[in-house]
A and B are shown apart, each in its own frame.
Chain A
Amino acid sequence: MAADALPPATAPARGALARSALASVGRSWHTARITALGEVLSPPRMTATAFRLLVQVFLVTCLWRGLYAHDPGSTAGLDRDQAVSYAVLAVLATRIRGLDRYAGRDTVFQHLYYGTIVFWFLRPLPPRRYYALRALGDQLYGCVWVLAGGLVCLATGVLMAPVSGTALLAATVSLLLGQVVLYQLTLLTDLLCFWTMQNSSTLQIIRFAQNLLSGAYAPLWYFPGWFVTLSSFMPFQSTLNTPLSLYIGRIPASGAPAQLALQACWIVGLAFLTRLLWHRAAQRVSAQGG
């Protein structure tokens, strides 16, 4: 039908537009909640996650308290409570990173390996949006665990209260920005799969670098000066070290604007790069048989 043959927009047409928008939101919601729904429908898995987090938090707390029992005072600018809080929050935050879709065979790596990636490009939902919605759902679900775990740790005295309201606000904003950076870094890693078929080892090495340089293994402040300087030039510390350091007061609230601006810069830079790579990746996809 030619465009000029379309009837003028009337009230019913606007209603249809609204219904279409609502349907779009509904579809997005259904896509975003896939991982969370899978977890909720599997009570043993939820129990295992809660048990695992509980044990891990307990052991990490014991470890750092035990270390500080021999060396009371401040080490690398962190006292005992700050170190324990950093380590506990890092354990909780890795819950967000730990979520994957491997069991459901819905990772980019698996789709490329089995050739099913082509279906991502045939659906009415663009692959970029599908990927973003799945990641959004996963990260929101992970954040619920972090929040719940954080509140329990706060109530039991394992986690120190934020040093000030400003620090809490800055840490929250930084955590959100950090999640965007984490999403883009994960996306970047996944997009590499379009160029390298056998790359599970590469992915593991990149994940290791991410964890090491973001402070997931040990607070970055304990590392030598050159290492801290090196990591400051990379985006990884934005995902974990910056929000956690703001929360425990190792980075003062006055330094927050500069840190948040740095995170924003990484987001913009990585967004350009991932957009470009999505475009290039789409040109490489072909159905099996060429």
Chain B
Amino acid sequence: MTDSPLPTDTRPPLPGPARPTAPPRTALRRYTDAWRVGLRITALNFRAQLEYRGEFLLQVCVGIVWQMSVIVFATVLLSRFSGMGGWSSPDILLGVAVRMLSNGLSVLICGNVGQVVNLAQAGRIDGFLLRPMPVYRQVLLSRFPVNALGDVTVGIALFVGALERSTLDWTPGRSAYLVATVIGATLVTCAIFTAISAAGLHYPSTTYWDSWVDELTSTFGSYPLSIMPRLASGALTFVLPLAFIAYLPIGVLTGHSSSLGVPVALAAAAPAVGLAAFVAARLLWNASLRRYKGVNG
């Protein structure tokens, strides 16, 4: 089965008095309708989460706490060591902030892909296949990821702090590139976890890898990879593309292009790489869904 709405009804119309037919919907109308439905479902999910207010607040705290663990690690490194790979503290902090903000946004948008294993085991994916909405979108809308509110809040706070400490001259061009970097970083993160969840449709043990990659991303996704040996930095660039989240684009932005270990053009194209990675991950997800077998085989 494919990741697409069910085919339209092709049966001949029933006999009876002619009824006025609705005008055909334009592509724009279908697009806005899809957004409207998505937002209504999100609002409903949000209200459902508010039903347990104590748990709601605790989930926000979980997001904050998770981000704090990254801040704690970064603070320890920045306070005890003079620099990493020749980067100054404000430059490193900007990289950490971009990664954390993009992480928060990716959890808010794509966080539910981590639930694919549970949804498949509970048989809910089978139900999603019967509804007139793409399955991937239904997975994203299956619940409101409350912890993302904490993630995004801390991410924004650190991002603002990093910009204040930055010594860069924020010209319109640089500012636009920074915005593109955050969007690209969000797309890279979404792509990584979407690709993992594609395997989760078939293998329940994928959660094991999901948590590990999450851990790797938070530990190594924010810092200059130039302190690593070539093998490790190469693997974190081309196998697991963590370098495209913050290290490469922030390296270009802060003037470390010559020591990034990849051509400057590739490093500068990190936001575009993010888009390409997400498209590739979605295609992989669709291909995986076509081979999906329910819990009953």
Contact = CB atoms under 8 A, between A and B. Distances in A.
The 4 closest A-B pairs by CB, nearest first: A66-B227, A201-B58, A198-B55, A222-B76
30 contacts: A45-B205, A52-B212, A58-B232, A59-B228, A59-B232, A63-B219, A63-B220, A66-B227, A66-B228, A67-B77, A67-B84, A70-B83, A71-B80, A71-B81, A71-B82, A103-B204, A103-B205, A198-B52, A201-B59, A201-B61, A201-B62, A204-B62, A204-B65, A208-B69, A211-B69, A212-B72, A217-B72, A218-B73, A218-B76, A223-B76
A48 B205 CA distance: 10
Question: Taking chain B's interface residues, is the majority helix, strand, or loop, or is none over half, making it mixed?
Answer: helix
Interface size bracket, A side: 20 to 34
A70 B205 contact: no
A261 interface: no
Nearest to A49: B208
B55 A63 contact: no
A67 B81 CA distance: 7
Interface residues of B, number: 37
Given A103-B204, A218-B76, A75 B65 contact: no
Given A70-B84, A205-B58, A205-B61, 12 more contacts: A58-B232, A59-B216, A62-B228, A66-B84, A67-B227, A70-B83, A103-B205, A212-B69, A218-B73, A218-B77, A222-B79, A222-B80
Interface in A39-83: 42, 44-45, 48, 52, 56, 58-59, 62-63, 66-67, 69-71, 75-76
Contacts of A199: 55, 58
A217 B227 contact: no
Nearest to B146: A201
A58 to B, nearest CB: 7
Nearest to A98: B211
B65 A205 contact: yes
Contacts, number: 84
A202 interface: yes
Nearest to A198: B55
A110 to B, nearest CB: 12
B66 interface: yes
A45 B206 CA distance: 10
B85 interface: yes
Contact of A69 (B76, B77, B227, B232): B227
Interface in A6-62: 42, 44-45, 48, 52, 56, 58-59, 62
Contacts of A222: 76, 79-80
B43 to A, nearest CB: 22
Contact of A63 (B66, B83, B205, B228): B228
A48 B208 contact: yes
Interface string B36-75: 0000000000000000101100110110011011001100
Interface string B271-285: 000000000000000
Given A59-B232, A67-B84, A201-B62, A48 B209 contact: yes
A71 B85 CA distance: 11
B157 to A, nearest CB: 18
A45 B208 contact: yes
Interface string A91-129: 000000000000100000000000000000000000000
